[in-house]
Amino acid sequence: MKRRAFLERIGSILAVLGITEAEWLSLGNRYYQALAQPSPRKLALLIGINQYPKIPALSGCLTDVELQRELLIHRFGFQGSDILTLTEEQASREFIEAAFLDHLGKQAKPDDVVVFHFSGYGSRVKLETSPETMQNALVPANASSKSQDDKIVNYILEETLLLLLRSLPTNRVTAVLDTSYYAPTPVLGLKVRALPESVEAKLAAEELDFLQQLKTQKLTSTPIVLAATSNPKQPAREELFSGFSAGLFTYALTQYLWEFTPTTRIQVALSYMENSLSKLGSKQQPALLSSQKNQHLTSLPPDSIIGAEGAVTAIEEDGKTVQMWLAGLPPQVLLYYGVNSRFTLATTTEQLVLRSRTGLTAKAQISQIEGANPLQVGQLVQEAVRVLTRNIHLIIALDTGLERIERVDATSAFAAFPHVSTVVAGEKPADYLFAKLQEIPSRYGLFSLGGEVILNTTGEVGEAVKLTVQRLAPKLSTLLAAKLWRLTENQGSSRLALKATLEIINNISPRVIMQRETVRTFKTETSIKKSLPTPIVPIGSRMQYRVENQSDRPVYLILLGLNNNHTAIAFYSWETPQEPKAADTKPLLKEVVIAPGETLTLPQTNTASEWVISGPASECEHQLIFSTAPFNGTLAALNTAKYSTAEEGPIGPLLNSLDVVQALLQDLHNASALKTEMNGTTADSHSLDVNNWASLSFSFQVL
């Protein structure tokens, strides 16, 4: 985002906070700083509202509160008694403001940590004192005033909240707002957290009086506000997951904080969260912090807080069965997380074997009891073995705007494809949406869950549903392949010490665009020159990956990705022929292997082949997948495709993407070499050991 646009976006906040641009940019990553550092006390007020009178209900706000509460208790040492939650009808304007003054204002002391969270609707309202402008406001449970005048609204102004935050006597104050203020034109039934503004609505007099009182107080705190979106007109969305709904921003934020020890630069965290949101079909860009250069997250004391996929929340009477909270697993992985997956307890050597899962909670049994240390509530759990069923489908939601006969025809047409299933939109989790184009209702197409049409998936005007679906065959295969390789992502849990950097090559020195590393294997902070949310790469750029193997074993590498809006690509390491190729000799691929302690560039700088970014403008996603064993099956699958000599570049089209990914999962399963009796898994599953594989995700825009 350009400097001018950034300042315009936060202009109102700067004015309310009474701080200069330089002061705002120097606030740093206060969310992590506040949570990580020890202090006399940590206080939190968490607000979540799904049910509103006379307003369509939301679905994920109570889950957001639960996500934050479990994170604060188990990951950052908050006491449950110091966390006050207000949900549903409790979260009226009067109760929220009273709770803020009583629970936070009266109790907080200098250097205490304070966290405020709000999940619910936002909107905009006009003030009588400045009728020419609309003000951002949070919508409490009692959105309408009790007065006779139905045009009076009982909103909490964003300005009021910011002044409340500034009134606290500590500088360690953070607000997380999973809401938005501009309601877009309804798109394909998406649930967004913004109500349409009413030019006739007037704010309740009590709120204006309260605001005036706050303006007379001495305000010393400089809070940091984390917003769900970076663009004022972008909606904050929520989504249906496996057994629960949640705000996309809250889920991405809390999942990141579970797995990652905050010792890297804030730009890396932003980039990771945007990556996570894009995999869920969203272009939402959280405004977590400023984009100040060289800004770092605050380091944690070495052994105080370690990354984890979840925590033990209860122990059953037998002492062998535990309940776990698994909000640290990547959202796209959770739905397919299979029985017999294994976790290690961060403080002991015992393993927990997954027996069942409902939503974010799971039951597991301890694998070895003899001589085991007693289990304790609050122990962090880390992924050891990921079990994924082999029977994973691409799930297509049928838009409720389709006529009944259209849904019947679509269901029948999609059923003809193996590994493709259909659901009714909004009833079960899905990967993509099949719907009519709003501007041309006689055309059908495939959409992301964020409502954006996927390139080259729309039918002709007046074309029958079945014909449109039949033409989707190659695209559906590619999208399923991408879904499968995303299930390998384990940057947070891998035990292979690897680092990968995406660079633009120029005549001076390579320019760093993004960097990913397996965080659980690095003990110290590493310096990253530059890594921005949604990095932008100009067309014509010469690119390379720089990959460092800091483990004690050789690792093998495969790169797969989506290019030009959902076209599959792969990295090809062609064999260098010993003698000039005959016309009928087929080129072969060789393994990419990196020795312990070595650094490799892709493509290798000593080869003639270059990777140049070509047009058109698009969004690119790459998955770098590493294994301690050769990718024999994967290379065999890559070699079966018929590539012309002209296509022998380092990055090229992937013609048989689904075959390649299925072979890759089998190779990772073979590399893990787990004894069947030890893991108890069946032939219907892949078992992946965190000691034997790593998978890092990169996303960037080509402009």
Is the pLDDT confidence value at 261 over 60?
Answer: yes
Q: b/e string for 449-467 if b means 16 or more Cβ within 10 A?
A: bbbebbeebbbeeeeebee
Residues 562 and 426 in one domain: no
Residues 497 and 480 in one domain: no
Give me the domain span that covers residue 372.
Answer: 310-389
Cα–Cα distance for residue pair 308/164, rounded to 1 Å: 34
303 in a structural domain = no
pLDDT at position 372 is: 61
Q: How far is CA 168 from CA 14, 155, 660, in A?
A: 17, 22, 56
Average pLDDT over residues 463-482: 95
**What is the band of 293 on the pLDDT scale with cuts at 50, 70, 90?**
very low
**Of the listed ranges 8-22, 24-38, 437-451, 609-623, the one predicted with least confidence:** 8-22
pLDDT at position 23 is: 37
pLDDT at position 193 is: 95
Q: How many domains does the chain have?
A: 4
Pairing label, strands 420-424, 394-398: parallel
299 in a structural domain = no
Residues 552 and 432 in one domain: no
Residues 331 and 405 in one domain: no
pLDDT at position 608 is: 60
Residues 358 and 410 in one domain: no
Residues contacting 519, CB < 8 A, separation 6+: 259, 260, 261, 264, 307, 491, 492
Average pLDDT over residues 648-659: 85
Residues 380 and 526 in one domain: no
What is the SS3 string spanning 143-184?
Answer: CECCCCCCCEECCEEHHHHHHHHHCCCCCEEEEEEECCCCCC
Cα–Cα distance for residue pair 413/567, rounded to 1 Å: 22
Residues 514 and 594 in one domain: yes
Residues 491 and 412 in one domain: no
Cα–Cα distance for residue pair 283/279, rounded to 1 Å: 9
Tens-digit pLDDT profile for residues 399-445: 999 999 999 999 999 999 999 999 999 999 999 999 999 888 889 99
Cα–Cα distance for residue pair 203/195, rounded to 1 Å: 15
Higher pLDDT, 354 or 40: 354
pLDDT at position 12 is: 42
Residues 381 and 480 in one domain: no
Last residue of a domain, one of 436, 460, 484: 484
CATH number at residue 456: 3.40.50
Could you tell me how far CA 399 lies from the centroid of its own chain?
A: 24
Beta bridge partners of 2: none
Average pLDDT, the chain: 84
Are the beta carbons of 604 and 569 closer than 8 angstroms? no
Tens-digit pLDDT profile for residues 66-116: 999 999 999 888 999 999 999 999 999 999 999 999 999 999 999 888 999
**What is the band of 278 on the pLDDT scale with cuts at 50, 70, 90?**
confident
Q: What percent of the chain has pLDDT over 90?
A: 54
285 in a structural domain = no
What's the half-sphere exposure (Cβ side, CA atoms, 13 Å) at 539?
A: 9
**Of the listed ranges 79-83, 200-204, 222-226, 500-504, the one predicted with least confidence:** 222-226
Cα–Cα distance for residue pair 119/155, rounded to 1 Å: 14
Q: What percent of the chain has pLDDT over 70?
A: 81
Within 10 angstroms of residue 540's Cβ, the number of other Cβ atoms is 10
Q: Which of 9-18, 240-249, 273-282 has the highest mean pLDDT?
A: 240-249
CATH number at residue 318: 2.40.10.170
Q: Is 338 helix (H, G, I), strand (E, B) or coil?
A: coil
CATH number at residue 113: 3.40.50.1460
300 in a structural domain = no
Higher pLDDT, 148 or 245: 245
Is the pLDDT confidence value at 184 over 50?
Answer: yes
Tens-digit pLDDT profile for residues 537-582: 888 889 999 999 999 999 999 999 998 667 899 998 877 665 555 5
293 in a structural domain = no
Question: DSSP state, 646?
Answer: G
Could you tell me how far CA 73 lies from the centroid of its own chain?
A: 21
Q: Which of 243-257, 274-288, 305-319 has the highest mean pLDDT?
A: 243-257
Residues 227 and 355 in one domain: no
Q: Is 251 helix (H, G, I), strand (E, B) or coil?
A: helix
Indicate the helix (H) or strand (E) that contains 669: helix 657-672
pLDDT at position 530 is: 44
Last residue of a domain, one of 343, 372, 389: 389
Last residue of a domain, one of 464, 484, 504: 484
Cα–Cα distance for residue pair 382/343, rounded to 1 Å: 5
The label of the residue with tokens 């740093």 reads 28
Residues 413 and 513 in one domain: no
Is the pLDDT confidence value at 7 over 60?
Answer: no
Residues 245 and 321 in one domain: no
